[in-house]
Structure 1
Amino acid sequence: MTAQTNYTSNDFHRIRHMYRSSTGVTLGHHTRDLVYNRISQRIDATSAQSFSQYLDRLMTGGKSEWGAFTSALGAAPSSFFSRADHFTALKEYLQALQVPGALLWSCAAGTGEEAYSMAMTAHDALGGNVRSIKILATDIDFSALAIAEDGVYTADRLRHLPQRYKEKYLVRLACHEEAYQVVPEIRRMVSFLPCNLAAREWVLKGKYEVIFCREVCDHFDAQTQQELVGRMAGMLKPGGLLFMGEAEAALDGDQRFERRGDKAYTLKLRF
């Protein structure tokens, strides 16, 4: 990995400017170390000699590398059933619904593991009666969404997937590499579409029972994080669930929410 002594303030500010110009997302000053770790990997992969050389090459060409650049600075790679307690809470919530149907949102879906974990949980919780369950999964990374729509994962990506879910909801593909695909019934529950959380307008409409917003807010400054939580509170149904990631600030002081668990919150009926 490129030595951190070769990573200057100018490099960091260039990266922030280039990423914002490309995606509309402003990386906070607190992301300096995150940016170093992520872009160092791209420097090594492209055999660039320094941050400045890598960025110069990116500006003068390298269209294919732009995708890798923006992907590297996106949310952390997702995994199936990360934070099992969140999915336990989701299952209990869906089982307790008094009316059929629910709209759920995975707002930083990445390559789809979180959204499919939500779909599997819903299918299991409701005994397969999921016609009226809809999961919207969004991300800023088009290449990640393409992977998510295919729903194909190598065995190493399934290490956190419960064995009974693996047997029920995935099929082994006949190929040289051990790979599995999410079954059509689960894939049909999820709609993947691009969405930039930093945009003034979001493509999503309606009221949601559940929102997963995990490991994404750390890309924004504190004020923007508060604005995002406020927008999501406006999109949740009263009593709905909001799940946050380890990096996000706790909402214990937010009068709109009650704590449901570790980084899990219920929107109050009145606030």
Structure 2
Amino acid sequence: MKIFELKCKAYLKTNIELKNSFDVLSKYLNYSIYQNEIYKNKDTSIKNYCFGNFYPTESDKIYKKNNVYEFVIRSIDEEFIDELEIAIIENMNNGFLLVLSAIKKEIDQFFIRELYTATPVIVSEKKDDTGRQIYWSLDYNGDIEILQNQLQKNLEKKLKLFFPENKAIIDNFIDEIEIKNLKPQSIYFKTIKNQKEKLVRLIGNKFKIVPKKDDLSQKLAFLSLGVGLGEKSSFGGGFCLGRGA
């Protein structure tokens, strides 16, 4: 298995608050992707990519106008990355940013000793009586087994879709998991409902994960680097960093 990465440098045309940065990047990438005829009519309900936020971070949580920041996009689909590399450079009409360069890197599977989530991992549960979506959190639920099962199910689904030759997985790929945040972490994005702009909040957590050492567990851990961990990777959820042996 391989994953493919674009390390991008972006010039900001305006100040962008941390709260709005995921929305800015996700809309920029989404627009760039769907300019390509290949992806306009393709089923992309299960995303084959993930991305990290701007860096370096800013102490006042505002990314500054006229500054250059980096962000990373990853996918398990090389054709997708190649098309996206062209599309994001050509996306000149965005009012927030201009991508100056995108450097492609190919990453072979390696043994992962630890996974760290750089952006919040989103795990949804059933909606409450009012129809509001409930997200897994230590305060609300606290059942680590439910969390691990949801993360496992999400990655297994993607593994079977993108690599159907792989065997079924019975045991959970996680050996140890540690919650790194004291308070729930959030990703915000804006949507239009009834002709009015609505701010949607996704609630997640950041983790340190020690994967198991067997081959299938390591495949799932490596896959998370390319497609994200948990849900909402196209909004910036679950972008991971891997530490090798």
| TM-score normalized by the length of structure 2 | 0.27
Determine which structure has the larger helix proportion and give its number: 1
TM-score (ref. length: structure 1): 0.25
Structure with greater strand percent: 2
Q: Which one scores higher on RCO, CA 8 angstroms, separation ≥ 6? A: 2
Larger CA Rg, structure 1 vs 2: 1
